[in-house]
Amino acid sequence: MNAIKISFFDTKSYDKEIFNIVNKNFAFEIKYHKYHLTQETAVLAKGYDTVCVFVNDEINKEVIDQLYEEGIRLIALRCAGYNNVDFKTAYGKVHIVRVPAYSPYAVAEHTVALMLSLNRKIHRAYFRTRDANFSLHGLMGFDMNKKIAGIIGTGKIGKVLINILLGFGMKVYGYDVYKDPSLLNKPNFEYVELDKLFANSDIISLNCPLTKETEYIINYSSLGKMKDGVMLINTGRGKLIKTTDLVDALKSGKVSAAGLDVYEEESEYFFEDRSDAILTDDILARLLTFNNVIVTSHQAFFTREAMQNIAQTTLQNISDFFNGKSLQNEICYKCSRGSENCLRKATGKCF
């Protein structure tokens, strides 16, 4: 049997390094492209068996139709999110697989790093001392012990984050459509409705996927329900937050600090070096002017362990498909959920 050929889009140097190491166990033929997958670049899949894509690649109707005409029957996402996929078009044409869990520790730990940095103003202190300014004015934080953290999304990442914050002596509120049985009797943790989480949390962290139900879950209305001076952290998806409403809340002081690893219009900027260009996104530019906001470039996942897991799972997904095995990480076409959360599994039907 000839080697399976993979057309690999949006390649960075670290992708190539890690995937080449892991691919020694699979012996696939991988062609790395620096370009994003778009309608214009989909032609690069011609002659290949599958494509491997990332969060900012376009998997819309036009791209799927073109890939299908080129003989592609599998699209392998090397990420957990799949809000960039047109499932209506994909249904009956191509299978979509993903990496549901690469390292929940990586994202949870980055989330805590943002919390601690914002609370203790580490980013401001760093620049200050480099200028030989050793004053403490404006750097006062608060004890996280006995404060309340609200975690929206208690999946693999949220669960790790909850355990870390409980270790700080915090009271933790959780909200999720799917309640994790292992959390129900955990001391100092409680599942609550969103309004109670908003009203009582000193820190709110978004660790849920982007769906129709969660899009702009943080907006003018929900911000108004929060404590004055709440800290907001988003390591989930950019469109969980209506950014213009967040800017207003930062200006008014309703939100005392924000840590953002994602941004709703990030595709033009994140993962790329734009330091020589003018920043034309006025909202992003405004966010970067706040000294109580930290923006990181979708790097929460970015640890060596996570990258190795991503490569291993992605290539295993491809191997399983071409060897006729069950696809454990296929996304359900009917309810557009990962196989582990498909409504068919819970109710017997998902449509």
The residues annotated as belonging to the active site are: 237, 266, 298
69's tokens: 């005409």
DSSP element (H, E) containing 61: helix 61-69
* CB-CB contact of 283 with 243 (8 Å): yes
Residues in contact with 63: Cβ distance below 8 Å, sequence separation at least 6, in sequence order: 37, 38, 39, 42
Kind of pairing, strands 203-206 and 148-152?
A: parallel
Alpha carbon distance 213, 209 (integer Å): 10
The identity of residue 23, as a single letter, is N
Q: Residue by residue, what is the 3-state secondary structure of 162-221?
A: HHHHHHCCCEEEEECCCCCHHHCCCCCEEECCHHHHHHHCCEEEECCCCCCCCCCCECHH
Query: Can you tell me the distance from the alpha carbon of 52 to that of 47, in angstroms, rounded to the nearest whole number?
Result: 14
State the DSSP code for 330.
Answer: B
CA distances from 100 to 45, 103, 146, 267, 313 (A): 24, 9, 32, 21, 9
- Strands 230-234 and 148-152: what pairing? unpaired
What secondary structure does DSSP assign to 263-325, as a single string?
-TTGGGTTTS--TTS----HHHHHHTT-TTEEE--S-TT-SHHHHHHHHHHHHHHHHHHHTT-
Record the tokens describing residue 242, joined without a space. Answer: 């209506």
Measure the CA–CA gap between 86 and 336, rounded to whole angstroms: 10
What gap in Å lies between CA 333 and CA 330, rounded to an integer? Answer: 9
Burial group, residue 195, by CB count within 10 angstroms (0-12, 13-18, 19+): exposed
